[in-house]
Each structure stands twice: as structure tokens, then as C-alpha cells.
């Protein structure tokens, strides 16, 4: 009887341990969640409720004034369009270049594979630094052009490693041999066999590059001067961090101005983060897969 009980129920110590663990994890999760809820709730509250600190958990005196102000702001709209452009075009360029180098490097019969791999990974260990890179971009005439955000950081070495590992692990060698016997060229083989078989890794690459491009501000900060080219993040910086919301509110609202500017910040945060956060639950597994593929030594 006693033996039976021990196998079914955990010892008291373990049960206490697990209870504490569940409580702690619940608290940690709430601590991560709370700031996010607070931001969203504030963004849907009225200007005066936010400014007088009445919001704790749910929206107080619900209104969409904040969002109205955001969508009436030309800077924000231009930034949104620009960021969409950079994310789409940049991702296309980055994924293409990454596959172009990762696939050849995945082939054991590719002569020069080792040295080229070294050539690439060394750039992870040592970089020229800010000014020397800036000089190159300047010499190429890319300063204050859209190319400055698309080219200088187009390839992430880590993504090359992930893609290469995927190609090595999941493209059967026999397929390649069969294709070669049939006289299929490498390019034909890539377009008709590799690409269709590599949809999961292409999804991982596209997501990583798109999120990075959407969230980046540094390259724009150093390379761009014209406001018409600014990505959303740079606009956010000027409004949210430097507090330059001038010209965003019309005269009739002057009285509520300060309150509205404050509320608008919350709405702006939601609007800017929405594209990424909204797709995240559906693509989380791809991100996790990407990390796991990369962690297998190739």
C-alpha cells in the first residue's frame, strides 16, 4: 500500500517545491505582462485620465483620441510607409543574398568552402567600427539614400550559418546526385528543388530580417538626413524620446495639448509595435526553430 502511494504521489517536499515554483512563475509572467497591458490600456483612455494617473489596469474613460492624433500626424504616416518599404525590400535583398552564399557553402563538393566560411565568420569577431564603415558608405555615395538602410547590414552571418545548417541537414544527397546525372544545372536545381524544399528556413530568414529592419534606427540615424526618408523608428525617437511633437496638433486643441501629447505617446507605441507583436504568436515556432537549427554545430 505504502509503496503504491509513493509511486503515484510526489513526496511532500516536491509538492511544496512545485507550488512555490508555480507561484513564482505566475508572478514573473504578470511582471512581464503588466507594462504591456498598462501601455495598451492607457492608449485607449482619455487624455485627462492618463495625465492624472487614473489608469491602473483597464482603460479609464475610454476614448480613441490618442489614435486619432497619431493617424493625423503626417510624419508618422510617412515613417510607417517608409518602414514598410525598408522591411519588404530589405528582406527580399537579405534573404536572397543569404541563400546565395549559404547554399554553396552547404555543399561538401564546393571547393573553397572552408576558407570562405572563415572569411565570413571572422566578421563576427572583428569589425572596422563606426567611422571606417561610415567612410565606405559615404565613398559609395549612399549617404541620405534609401540604399544606406538596405545594403550595409544586408547579411547577418548568424543567418548564413542557420541556412547552411538547414541545407546540409534536410536536402538529401541522393536528390542532388540524381539531378546531376539527369544533367540538371546547379541554378536549375536550386530553383526547382532547393527553394520549394526550403520554405521553413526561408520563413525563418524573412522573419528575422523583417523584424530587424522594422525595429532598427541606428543606420537611419547615422546615414539619413532627409526626413522624407526616415523610417518609423526615427520618427518615434523624435516624438517619444526627444519630445518633438510640434505641429502635430491643431490650434483648437491647444488647451488639451499637453495631455494629448502625453496620451498620443501610448497610442504611438501600440501602433508602432502592432505589426510585429500581432504576427508574433503565429510565427513564434519559426523563431524557435531558427535558433535551434543554428545551435547545431555544422
Partner 1 sequence: MKRHWQLYLLIIPPVLYFLIFKYIPMANTILAFKSYNVTQGIWGSQWAGTKYFEMFFNNPAFFTLIKNTLVISFYQLAVGFPIPILLALALHEVRNARFKKTVQLITYAPYFISTVVMVSMIILFLSPRLGLVNTVTEALGLEAVNYLGKPGWFRSIYVFSDVWQTAGYSAVIYLAALAGVDPSLYEAAKVDGASRLQKIRNVDLPGIMPAAVIILILSVGNIMAIGFEKMYLLQNPLNLATSEIISTYVYKIGLLQSNYSFATAVGLFNSVINLILLLFVNAMARRVSDTSLW
* Range 48-77, binding partner 1 (CB under 8 A): 50-51, 53
Rounded Cα gap, residues 104 and 160, in angstroms = 11
Rounded Cα gap, residues 198 and 175, in angstroms = 14
Which spans in 113-256 are helix H? Answer: 113-125, 130-139, 147-150, 157-170, 173-181, 186-189, 195-197, 199-215, 218-223, 232-236
| Cα dihedral: 263, 264, 270, 271 (round 10) | 160
Cell 539531378 belongs to 179
Rounded Cα gap, residues 208 and 158, in angstroms = 11
Give the interface segment with partner 1, choosing from 59-67, 68-76, 145-153, 193-201 (CB under 8 A).
145-153
What minimum distance in Å lies between the beta carbon of 44 and partner 1?
15
If one asks whether residue 156 binds partner 1 (CB under 8 A), the answer comes out as no
Give the interface segment with partner 1, choosing from 46-54, 65-73, 161-169, 191-199 (CB under 8 A).
46-54
Q: Which is nearer to partner 1, 64 or 120 (CB)?
A: 120
Q: Count CA atoms closer than 13 A to 236's CA, side-chain side.
A: 21
What minimum distance in Å lies between the beta carbon of 56 and partner 1?
9
If one asks whether residue 237 binds partner 1 (CB under 8 A), the answer comes out as yes
Phi-psi region at 256: left, alpha or beta (left = phi > 0; alpha = psi -120 to 50): alpha
Give the interface segment with partner 1, choosing from 63-71, 74-82, 179-187, 249-257 (CB under 8 A).
179-187
Give the interface segment with partner 1, choosing from 68-76, 163-171, 248-256, 277-285 (CB under 8 A).
277-285
> Contact with partner 1 (CB under 8 A): which of 78, 145, 153, 176?
153
> Contact with partner 1 (CB under 8 A): which of 123, 170, 173, 191?
123
What minimum distance in Å lies between the beta carbon of 137 and partner 1?
8
Amino acid at each position: 500500500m505504502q509503496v503504491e502511494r509513493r509511486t503515484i504521489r510526489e513526496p511532500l517536499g516536491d509538492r511544496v517545491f512545485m507550488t512555490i515554483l508555480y507561484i513564482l512563475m505566475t508572478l514573473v509572467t504578470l511582471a512581464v505582462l503588466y507594462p504591456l497591458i498598462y501601455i495598451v490600456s492607457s492608449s485607449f483612455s482619455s487624455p485627462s485620465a492618463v495625465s492624472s494617473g487614473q489608469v491602473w489596469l483597464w482603460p479609464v474613460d475610454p476614448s480613441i483620441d490618442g489614435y486619432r492624433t497619431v493617424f493625423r500626424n503626417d510624419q508618422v504616416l510617412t515613417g510607417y510607409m517608409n518602414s514598410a518599404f525598408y522591411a519588404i525590400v530589405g528582406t527580399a535583398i537579405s534573404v536572397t543574398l543569404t541563400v546565395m552564399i549559404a547554399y554553396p557553402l552547404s555543399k561538401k563538393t564546393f571547393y573553397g568552402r572552408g576558407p570562405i566560411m572563415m572569411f565570413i565568420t571572422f566578421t563576427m569577431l572583428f569589425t572596422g567600427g563606426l567611422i571606417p564603415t561610415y567612410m565606405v558608405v559615404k565613398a559609395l555615395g549612399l549617404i541620405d539614400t534609401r540604399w544606406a538602410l538596405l545594403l550595409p547590414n544586408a547579411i547577418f552571418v548568424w543567418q548564413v550559418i542557420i541556412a547552411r545548417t538547414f541545407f546540409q541537414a534536410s536536402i538529401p544527397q541522393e536528390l542532388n546526385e540524381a539531378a546531376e546525372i539527369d544533367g540538371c544545372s546547379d541554378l536549375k536545381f536550386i530553383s526547382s528543388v532547393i527553394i520549394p524544399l526550403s520554405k521553413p528556413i526561408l520563413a525563418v530568414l524573412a522573419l528575422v530580417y523583417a523584424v530587424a529592419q522594422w525595429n532598427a534606427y541606428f543606420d537611419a540615424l547615422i546615414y539619413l538626413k532627409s526626413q522624407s526618408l526616415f523610417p518609423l523608428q526615427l520618427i518615434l525617437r523624435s516624438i517619444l524620446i526627444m519630445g518633438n511633437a510640434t505641429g502635430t496638433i491643431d490650434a483648437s486643441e491647444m488647451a488639451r495639448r499637453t495631455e494629448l501629447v502625453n496620451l498620443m505617446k501610448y497610442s504611438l507605441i501600440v501602433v508602432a509595435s502592432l505589426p510585429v507583436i500581432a504576427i508574433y504568436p503565429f510565427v513564434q515556432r519559426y523563431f524557435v526553430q531558427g535558433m535551434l537549427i543554428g545551435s547545431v554545430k555544422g
